Structures are given as C-alpha cells and as structure tokens.
Structure 1
C-alpha cells in the first residue's frame, strides 16, 4: 500500500447523515519544514487516485518534494477513502451517504490540522473536481490558504456542466435500471458506455479534427475510442463513480452555512493569490465561467491553457500543456 489512512471516526455530513468509521486515504511527498510553511494540498479529481496526480510532482517542477511538503488527499468515494465499495452495510453501494465538496474539504482540513498541525497552506491546486475542491478550500478557510491554482475546474457546477454530468450518470443508471435493481446488476457494459459518453466531452472538436489522438499512439479514431475511452473506466466500481458524480454535480463553494448560497459573497471572500487556468477549448468547465468567477475574486489572474486537448489539457497527457501548468505554478509560488 503506497498511501496512508487518516481515521476520522463517525462523521456527520452536510446532509445530516452520519458516515460511521470514516477515513481519508492520502499520500505525502517531501518533508514538512520546521515552521510548517511549505505545505501544498493537491486533491484528486473524479475517478482518480493519488498516483494520477504524480505527473505534476517532481524535482525541477514547481511541486518539488525537495522544497515542498505535498499532501494528496483522495476524494471520498474514489475507492481508497471512504466509498460505497469499502463501507460496511447498511451504507455500502447505493446506500452510501451523499458527500459534498464542502464535506471533502472539511475532512481534508482535519487531516492537515490534526495530523500535521499545519495552520498555513502555501498552495492548493487541482484539476477538474480537484479544482473545485481547490476553490472550496479558499472559500472555507480564507485565512489559511495563501495561494490557489485551480486548473480546468470552476467554483461551482454551472447548469451546462450539471447537464453533461447527468448524461454521464445516465449511462450507468440505464444499464442496470438502477432505481429498481441493485448495484450488483451494474455490468461492465455500463463502464464502457460511460467512456463513450465522455469521449465527446473530454477533448475538443479540434482535437478530433486534427487527429491529435495519434500523439498518444492510436492509429485511428476507432482505435482511440476503443483503446482509450472504452478502457478508461473499466475496473472501477460503478457505485463509486455514481457517488463521485453526485459530489461533482452538487459542487458550490457557497452551499454551506458560512455563505448560505450567496455565490458572489463566497467568491469575494477568497483572498488567496489565485491563478485560474481554464482550458480554452474545455467543453464543460469553460473559460467564460472562470472569467466570471475570477472577476469577482479579490486577487485572481486568468491564465487560459491554449490547447486543443479540451478538458484533458489538465490531465498530464500533453507535454506542452504540462509545461504551461507547471510554469504558472512556479510563477504563483514565487509571488509573496
């Protein structure tokens, strides 16, 4: 096991439901310095686990373990932290409680403060649903978070993104007629189908028109669809995916007792130095949405990822996009 477990005990969620014996899986990179000023929090995205974040961590990179203490907490529902697949009955499978982004960040806060006794965070960063957690960190703990760098993600799930995720969810629900059948009926075909639904959204029109998938070693469009997308979600637990989809659909930094749904107030409360990196061809976490959010934040700069790789410009697949993201992190971390 290449990660550690932080026991949370019985956790009361935003919904009021109690998740018994909850736990957070995490991995750290580097060493915490004496004054505990070198902490980076880097949450995982939908369907990802900590190792999916490692492409952005390393010597010579902004997230250099020789310089920073990088904490990668696994999203609740991802199969390593408390999830439908590893929770005991009667809260296993489809009975797993609804966990919000706010819940996730509140539990990560416990990890950071109780396990490591950290009171200041130099940077929070993340991709996609990890970016949404990044925004939530800055809104929930504005006095603690010094910098944020969300890439390919927004401060809330805007209506069009909600609709996209509803389509992804429907591919799993339809396969098993989930409303009347158990999780055991969710067959592999549903996991292949979710990849096909995602295929038209994860990358841009230009990515497909230019056959950029050939850079990943695929010989044709059909080869890419079967070799990349059909396998993308295979091996994952369908109930875990549905739990994470619910988390993503209901993300909103203002949906809590601190802001009572006042999204504008929540954005204005973010005092961290911020670099927002939307993909300029991202089809569901759009540049326009980030511009709206950034214009209402106290200290935000918009640095679009100019790339045909769409949402997956933030996934670590294209070297040019990776260099751009790393450069922005270096720029931000050098700012006082």
Structure 2
C-alpha cells in the first residue's frame, strides 16, 4: 500500500446522514517545513486515485517535493477513501450515502489540521473534479488558502455539464432497466457503455478529426475507443462511479450554509490568487463557464490551455499541455500573497 489512511470516525455528511468509520486515503510527497507554510493540496479527480496525479509532481517542476509538502487526498467514492466498494453494510454499494464536494473539502481540512497542524496552504491545485475542490477550498477557507489553480475544472456543474454527466449515468442505469431496486446487480462489465459515452466528451472534435489517437499508439478509432475508454471504465466499480457522478452533479461551491446558493457571492469571497486554466476545446467544463467564474474572483487570471485535447488537456498525457500547466503553476507560486 503506497498511501496512508486518516480515520475520520463517524462523519455527519452535508445530507444529514452519518457515515460510520469514515476515512480518507492520502499520499504525501516531500516534507513539511518548520513554518508549515510549504503546503500544496492536490485533490484527485473523478475516477482517479493519487497515482494519476503524480505526472505533475517531480524534481524541477512547480510541484517539487524538495520545496513543497504535497498532499494528495483521494476523493470519497474513488475506491481508496470511504467508498461504496469498501464500506460495510448497510452503506455498501448502492446504499452508500450522497457525498458532496463540500463534504470532501471539510474532511480534507480535518486531515490537514488534526494530522499535520497546518494553518496555511500555499496552493490548492486540481484537474476536473479536483479543480472543483480547489474552488471549494478557496470559498470554504478564504483566509487559509493563498493560491488556487483549477485546470479543466469548473466551480459548479453548469446546466450542460449536468446533462453530460446525466447521460454518462444513464448509460449505466440502462443496464438494470433504470430500476433503482436492482442497482446492486451492476457489475464492471456494465461500465463498457459508460466508456463509449464518455469517449465523445473527454476529447475534442478536432482531436478525433485529426486522428491524434495515433500519437498514443492506436491504429484505428475503434482500437482507441475500446483500448482507452472501455478499458479504463471497466476497471472501475460501477457503484463508485455512480457515487462520484452524484458528487460531480451536485458540486456547486455555493451550495452550503456559508453561501446558501449565492454562486457569485461564493466566487467573490475567494481571496486566493487564482490561475484558472480551462482546456480551450473542453466540451463540458468549458472555457466560457470558467471565464464567468474568473471574472468574479477578485484575484484571478484566466489562462486557457490552447489545446486540441479537450477535457483531457489536463490529464497529463500531452507534453505541450503539461508544460503549459507546469509553467503557469511556477508563475503562480512565484507571486507574493502578502498585502
């Protein structure tokens, strides 16, 4: 096991449901300095675990373990932290309670405070649903978070984003005839259709038109869809996926007691220096949505990743996109947050 467990005890979720014996799985890179001010929080995205974040961590990079103490907390529902596949009855599989991004960030804060005594965060960075968590950190703990850098992530599921996730979910629910009483019959084989649906959203029109999958070693479109999309989703637990989809569809950073649904107020309350990096061709976490958000965050820069890789411009696959993200993080970390 290449990660650690932080036991949270019985957690009262935002829904009011108590999740017993909850825990966060997390991995750290580097060392916490004496001042405890070299902290980077890098939450995981939908379907990802800490290993998928490691492409952005390394010597000489912005997230350099020789300089920073980098904490990668795993999303609740991702199979390592408390999830449908590892929680005992009566909260196993389809019975796992609904968990929000607000819940995730609150529990990550508990980890930082209780385990490490951290009171300041130099940067919260993340891709996709990790990006939403970066926004949530900035809104929930504006005095604690000095910088945020969401890439390929939005601060709420805008209506189109919600519909896209609903379509992904529907492709799985159709395997049991949309009968909620049969959800526990779902298997990983039922995830094949989910992969094929998501294949049309994860990458851009231009990516497919220009057959950029050849750069990944695939000879045909069919080989790419089966080899990447089907395989990656069929390796996921369907109940974990349903849990994470619910989290993503209800991830509005203002949907909590602090802001009572006032989205603009939540954005304006973020004090952190923000570098917001959408993929320029992202089809469901769009640059337009991010631009609206950036305009309302007091100290934000809007810097799209000019890429044909759509949502996956932030996935660590294309070296040009990776370099752009790393360069922007280096610049952001170089900026003083002292007023």
Q: What's the TM-score once normalised by structure 1's chain length?
A: 0.99
Map Cα deviations across residues 288-307 of structure 1 (whole Å, 9 max, x no partner): 00110010111000010000
- Looking at structure 2, the residues matched to 78 and 21 of structure 1 have their Cα atoms a distance apart, in angstroms, of 16
Residue 117 of structure 1: aligned partner: 117
- Residue 223 of structure 1 and its aligned partner are, at CA, apart by 1.1
Residue 148 of structure 1: aligned partner: 148
Q: Is the 8 A contact 1:85 1:93 kept in 2?
A: yes
Residue 270 of structure 1: aligned partner: 270
Residue 329 of structure 2: aligned partner: 329
- Residue 185 of structure 1 and its aligned partner are, at CA, apart by 2.0
- Residue 226 of structure 1 and its aligned partner are, at CA, apart by 1.2
- Looking at structure 1, the residues matched to 47 and 307 of structure 2 have their Cα atoms a distance apart, in angstroms, of 23
Q: Is the 8 A contact 1:9 1:20 kept in 2?
A: yes
Report the aligned-residue RMSD: 0.8
Map Cα deviations across residues 158-198 of structure 1 (whole Å, 9 max, x no partner): 00000000000011111123534434421344211111000
- Looking at structure 1, the residues matched to 77 and 223 of structure 2 have their Cα atoms a distance apart, in angstroms, of 31
The count of aligned residue pairs is 336
Q: Is the 8 A contact 2:102 2:136 kept in 1?
A: yes
Alignment of 1:68-83 (within 5 A): 68-83=68-83
Residue 53 of structure 2: aligned partner: 53
Q: Is the 8 A contact 2:187 2:237 kept in 1?
A: no
Q: Structure 1: give runs of 5+ residues left out of the alignment.
A: none
Q: Secondary structure at the match of 2:234?
A: coil
Q: Secondary structure at the match of 1:104?
A: helix
Map Cα deviations across residues 66-104 of structure 1 (whole Å, 9 max, x no partner): 000000000000000000111110111111100000000
Judged with a 3 Å threshold, the aligned counterparts in structure 2 of structure 1 residues 202 and 324 are, in CA distance, closer, same or farther, namely same
Q: Is the 8 A contact 2:94 2:184 kept in 1?
A: no
Q: Is the 8 A contact 2:2 2:27 kept in 1?
A: yes
Alignment of 1:4-15 (within 5 A): 4-15=4-15
Alignment of 1:90-101 (within 5 A): 90-101=90-101
- Looking at structure 1, the residues matched to 188 and 29 of structure 2 have their Cα atoms a distance apart, in angstroms, of 35
Q: What's the TM-score once normalised by structure 2's chain length?
A: 0.98
- Looking at structure 2, the residues matched to 103 and 32 of structure 1 have their Cα atoms a distance apart, in angstroms, of 25
- Residue 141 of structure 1 and its aligned partner are, at CA, apart by 0.1
- Looking at structure 1, the residues matched to 230 and 137 of structure 2 have their Cα atoms a distance apart, in angstroms, of 34
Residue 89 of structure 2: aligned partner: 89
Residue 306 of structure 1: aligned partner: 306
Q: Is the 8 A contact 1:31 1:69 kept in 2?
A: yes
Map Cα deviations across residues 34-53 of structure 1 (whole Å, 9 max, x no partner): 10010000000000000000
Residue 44 of structure 2: aligned partner: 44
Q: Is the 8 A contact 1:100 1:251 kept in 2?
A: yes
- Looking at structure 2, the residues matched to 223 and 30 of structure 1 have their Cα atoms a distance apart, in angstroms, of 39
Map Cα deviations across residues 203-236 of structure 1 (whole Å, 9 max, x no partner): 0000000000101000111111111111011221
- Looking at structure 2, the residues matched to 253 and 232 of structure 1 have their Cα atoms a distance apart, in angstroms, of 28
Q: Is the 8 A contact 2:50 2:72 kept in 1?
A: yes
